Amino acid sequence: MSKKKIVAATGCPTGIAHTFMAAEALKKAAERLGVEIKVETHGQVGVENALTAQEIKEADGVIVAADKDVNAERFHGKPVVDVPVAKGIRTPEDLINQIINEEAPIYRASNYEKSSSSNTEELEDESKNEAKSSKKIGRAIYKHLMNGVSHMLPFVVGGGVLIAISFLFGIYSADPESEQYNEFAKLLNDVGGLSFSMMVPILAAFIAESISKRPGMVVGFVGGLLADQGGAGFLGGILAGFLAGYIIILLQTFLRKMPHSLNGLKSIFLYPVLGIFLIGIVMTPIIVPLTGLNEGLMNFLESVQSTNPLLLGLIVGAMCGFDMGGPFNKAAYVTGTALLTDGNLYFMAGVSAACIAPPLIIAFATVMFRKYFTKEERNAGAVNFILGSTHITEGAIPFAAKNPVVVLPIIMFGSAIAAILTYMFGVQVPAPHGGFLVLPVVTGALQWILSILVGSLAGALLYGMYRKKAANKEPIKE
């Protein structure tokens, strides 16, 4: 009996940790189950280990463990298990068994026949097929949103760090009228600011691209520019992205009966002209109320930050620690980056602290309660010192996945303490990523480190005590 052949695609919004953790988990599970597997990863550097058409054709089934668009139309007609990337990490054997036991549904891409005959005829993606239940609709919306966030993050991180570095020359070093003026600092600030200013248009463009492919990207970009210039911020960008994507879907539906020979005309002329016109018509009247909503949200967060840091830190810490790179974590992070563009450097400080704490909680626990962890866990714990220090929260996931009911509240507790203390100390972090690498540009760096260490050690103590109690019931086997 020949081995079952499975192909898989993994992808997460940041493309840093979840993507590759899911790929590794699937490979190990496949080895245990005696299944041949090839995993394509959609990381921040692009697609790696790409699947060929022949490999897809020969596969007995497909696993898509992703929170972003991975070009699923390729898998038309194959048994497909489509789940969030976190399930690829936590339950890889269950996913593979669904293929082995022939329980996976056959995937039907509505654009399959058209797109195979012409690259220019790009119709609805799998979101239309997913819209059969409220749960699948919610997952489709989340995937489209995370596709936008995934492409937005490099602009935010790159630009934000360059702006932060420019502050090393002085807070006003980019101002030609100031005594602190430095030409190189101004260059860093200008280039970083330009990158940062692309956040909303890129977010909108790739939300739309996930919905309706390349024609949607153009319309989404323009919609994002309208939202950004009108002051509607990232909320306006999100709405513009979804509107642009479905405007193109609508146009594709109306123009479907045009002669096939005019496909090129549709892609290069009709879709962009009509799409840009329609997004302008739709966005113009709603920019004003969206701007008010955006400003109201930002003002509320700023007021809570100054009047009730305990409550804000508790909320931010719980969100960042709850799913460590998932929807709640990303919601807090995107809010922090949006506030950075408005000059609020306090909110991101708490978010960063809450994201750094989870892997450090694990790392400290494996050192402080060494004998209650296996050798493999201690090695992974040591790696978490590096992951935590560089703002990669996902290193704690394998530990949390073993008993999430107990471990997640502990991680949320430690993250909340780190965020609360950060807000109470009034720390300012001008960079949206980087962890301790951006310490030179942090205002209140020592207080920030202290906040993170206190939160991490508190969480590590609780986690270690839990492991000790568990080990008394079932001794650790090396």
Amino acid at 340: L
Would you state the pLDDT for residue 125? 43
Q: Can you tell me the distance from the alpha carbon of 179 to that of 176, in angstroms, rounded to the nearest whole number?
A: 8
Burial code (b: 16+ CB inside 10 Å, e: under 16) for 9-40 equals: bbbbbbbbbbbbbbbbbbbebbeebebebbbb
φ/ψ of 335, rounded to 5, equals -60, -40
Sheet strand arrangement including 61-66: 46-48, 36-43, 5-11, 61-66, 80-83
The pLDDT of residue 128 is 43
pLDDT at position 142, please? 78
- At 110 the pLDDT is 56
12 is catalytic: yes
| Res 115: pLDDT | 41
- Residue 42's φ and ψ, nearest 5 degrees, are -110, 80
Q: Residue 171: its pLDDT value, please?
A: 67
Residues 6, 61 contacting (CB under 8 angstroms): yes
Segments of the chain with pLDDT less than 70: 1-2, 14, 16, 110-136, 171, 297-298, 301-302, 305-306, 325-327, 341-342, 474-478
Q: What CA–CA distance (Å, rounded) separates 81 from 149? A: 24
Decide if 315 contacts 322 (C-beta within 8 A).
no
For residue 447, the cross-strand partners are: none
Q: Which CATH superfamily is domain 5-108 in?
A: Response regulator (3.40.50.2300)
Q: Where in the chain is the domain with CATH 3.40.50.2300?
A: 5-108
**Catalytic residue (choose from 6, 7, 8, 12):** 12
